[in-house]
Amino acid sequence: MNQALLRQIPKMDLLLDHPLLADLCQRTSRAAVKAAIQETLQQLRRDIADGSVRSVPDPEQLCRQILSGADTGCHLRRVINATGVVLHTNLGRAPLSPEAADNLSRIARGYCNLEYDLDRGCRGSRYDHVEELICRLTGAEAAMVVNNNAGAVFLMLNTLARGKNVAISRGELVEIGGSFRVPEIMEQSGARLVEVGTTNKTHPRDYEAAMEEKGATVLLKVHTSNFAIIGFTESVPVDTLSRIARAHEGLTLYDLGSCFQFPCEYLGLHEGESAAQALSAGADVVCFSGDKLMGSAQAGILAGRKALIDQIRRNHLTRMLRIDKLSLAALEIALRDSLDPQTAIRKIPTLRMLAMTREDCRTQAQDLCRQLCGLGFAAEVIDTDDEVGGGSLPGLRLPSAAAAVSCDFLTASALEKVLRSQEMPIISHIQKDRVLLSPRTFCEGDLQQIVSVFAALSQKEADSR
């Protein structure tokens, strides 16, 4: 460890009484500023220890660092996703469009008619705001929205399948995101699981047998999301499933997990079923996430036959899973944008990212490389494959390009760490001793932000020489 550097770190009291921080002490508290200084100094010690910092910033620089970090002082922070994983669950899945974020902020700043009927001047329902939009998008008779899709699946089963035998293919008894396990959700909802078929193949006759011989009255289909079975596989499409269910006076429920609001061909993709397709194929109720391919706020959307949706609404457990006004504010904008596929792809960040071609990625990666080379870094464009993420469209590779960056004064892992410890952290992957920055997942202004971080890095290195 570099003892000489560690000794150069300014004393706490010197920083705490620094004129630059006086205002912050006034605005917050001396204790809060002390904690912020402590954190900054500890980070500095760690950075010196692992060699990622080789000169100690002067007290003024440190104060500015603390000031900029104290902008929000929040633990939950905006980060730059340079991983190329579009629906990165660890990074908050879908970023909102500027319009959706503006609407959310507008609603947040005051009161709203969340449960107030403006025409009649009396109590209204929070479920009314987006029902018509969802019905227009999916062709459903009725719809409602809850906190997330896990909640939607639970409510759907708890309301429509409690105490009933529910047939599901063994190939669809999946675990999603580590904590959502289909068999366990079914059990907790009070539905009785009737497994049919095998892991790789399930036939129509398996469902028929479940209804005729094992007393199943509900057929459940679950999109396998983060899991693909390849080779000799067979699953029963929802139109066949619903035909079997109808013939036995049963229900077909479908957890789509992640789905586009329009035929996926618009994005040049050939996978995935939309809610509209599933409903027109005969599903009685479908549910899906608001913040996967829909590209909006966290939400679980339920759509289907009116009598069934009404029943779900009346379930007391709905109260525990209700959607909040901020998600609703963002969701309404995304639903409106989704009415027209071209508008959706232009406006919804997730869809715009998915629609990027390798050529689009290359153009941005080239721009980034040019600027980074200008700052003295080694950077070149390489072809990569990005992922959709979020347990959507497994196995689908998005042909992409990224900037592969290295420098002579930091190892790839030290560089990755420096990027990650910025005020606006940059999250990247390492490949073959280089840091990969994938432009597919950049949001507005991210590219320039990355360049300015590298500029500061090269300046700091020059100063320390």
The answer to whether 202 contacts ligand PLP (rule: CB under 6 A) is: no
**Shortest CB 300 distance to ligand PLP, Å:** 6
For the chain, how many residues are written? 465
Quick one: 44 or 331, whose CB is closer to ligand PLP?
Answer: 331
The yes or no reply on residue 255 touching ligand PLP (CB under 6 A) is yes
Q: Which is nearer to ligand PLP, 95 or 300 (CB)?
A: 300
In this chain, which stretch among 17-25, 254-262, 314-322, 380-388 interacts with ligand PLP, using CB under 6 A? 254-262
Segment interacting with ligand PLP, rule: CB under 6 A, options 16-24, 253-261, 366-374, 445-453: 253-261
Choice from 62, 150, 168, 276 touching ligand PLP (CB under 6 A): 150
CA atoms of 388 and 351, how far apart (whole Å): 10
- Report the C-alpha gap between 301 and 126 in whole angstroms: 13
Task: Output 176 or 331, the one with its CB closest to ligand PLP.
Answer: 176
If one asks whether residue 341 binds ligand PLP (CB under 6 A), the answer comes out as no
Residue nearest to ligand PLP (CB): 257
- Cα–Cα distance measured from residue 376 to residue 406, given in angstroms and rounded to the nearest whole number: 10
Q: What tokens were used for 73? A: 């002082």
* Contact flag: residue 223 with ligand PLP (CB under 6 A): yes
What secondary structure letter does DSSP report for 320?
G
Beta carbons within 10 angstroms of residue 85's beta carbon? 21
426: its two tokens: 């940059």
Q: Pairing mode, if any, of strands 216-222 and 192-196?
A: unpaired
Non-local (6+) Cβ contacts of 381 within 8 A are: 362, 365, 366, 369, 401, 402, 403, 404
Q: Six-digit token pair at 311?
A: 């029943």
CB of 322 to ligand PLP, least distance (A): 14
> 238 near 273, Cβ under 8 Å?
yes
Please report whether residue 225 would count as binding ligand PLP according to CB under 6 A: yes
Check binding of 258 to ligand PLP (CB under 6 A). Answer: yes
| Whole-number Å distance between alpha carbons of 419 and 109 | 33
Distance CA 144, CA 322 (A): 10
How many residues lie near ligand PLP (CB under 6 A)?
A: 15
- Cβ distance to ligand PLP smaller for residue 33 or 286: 286
Q: Applying CB under 6 A, does 441 fall inside the site for ligand PLP?
A: no
Cα separation, 200 vs 202, in Å, equals 7
Task: Pick the binder of ligand PLP from 148, 242, 261, 438 (CB under 6 A).
Answer: 148
Residue with tokens 């996430």: 289
Classify the phi-psi angles of 403: left when phi > 0, otherwise alpha if psi is within -120 to 50, otherwise beta: beta
Does the protein bind ligand PLP through residue 222 (CB under 6 A)?
yes
Structure letter (DSSP) for residue 445: T
Q: Which is nearer to ligand PLP, 87 or 267 (CB)?
A: 87
Chain-centre distance for alpha carbon 108: 21
- What separation in angstroms does the CA of 334 have from each of 292, 293, 302? 12, 11, 16
d(CA 456, CA 69): 16
Instruction: Choose between 341 and 391: whose C-beta lies nearer to ligand PLP.
Output: 391
Q: Which two tokens stand for residue 85?
A: 């994983």
Q: Which of 391, 436, 437, 439 binds ligand PLP (CB under 6 A)?
A: 391
Minimum CB–partner distance for residue 161 and ligand PLP (Å): 15
User: Cβ of residue 258: shortest distance to ligand PLP, in angstroms?
Assistant: 5
Pick from 62, 176, 345, 427 the residue near ligand PLP by CB under 6 A: 176
**Mask: binding to ligand PLP, 293-332, rule CB under 6 A, as x and -?**
-------x--------------------------------
For ligand PLP, the closer CB: 150 or 353: 150
Q: Give min distance, CB of 144 to ligand PLP, in A.
A: 15
Q: According to the binding rule CB under 6 A, does residue 153 interact with ligand PLP?
A: yes
Stretch touching ligand PLP by CB under 6 A, among 12-20, 251-259, 307-315, 441-449 = 251-259
Contact positions with ligand PLP (CB under 6 A) in 392-411: none
Pairing of strands 165-169, 192-196: parallel
d(CA 100, CA 291): 13
Closest CA relative to residue 427, chosen from 5, 197, 88, 95: 88
- Region from 94-102, 107-115, 218-226, 277-285 binding ligand PLP, contact rule CB under 6 A: 218-226
Rule CB under 6 A: say whether 289 interacts with ligand PLP: yes
Binding ligand PLP by CB under 6 A: which of 57, 197, 250, 257? 257
CA Rg value for the chain: 26
Q: What are the φ and ψ backbone dihedral angles of 360, each rounded to 5 degrees?
A: -60, -45
Q: Summarize as ranges the residues that interact with ligand PLP (CB under 6 A).
A: 148-150, 153, 176, 180, 222-223, 225, 255, 257-258, 289, 300, 391
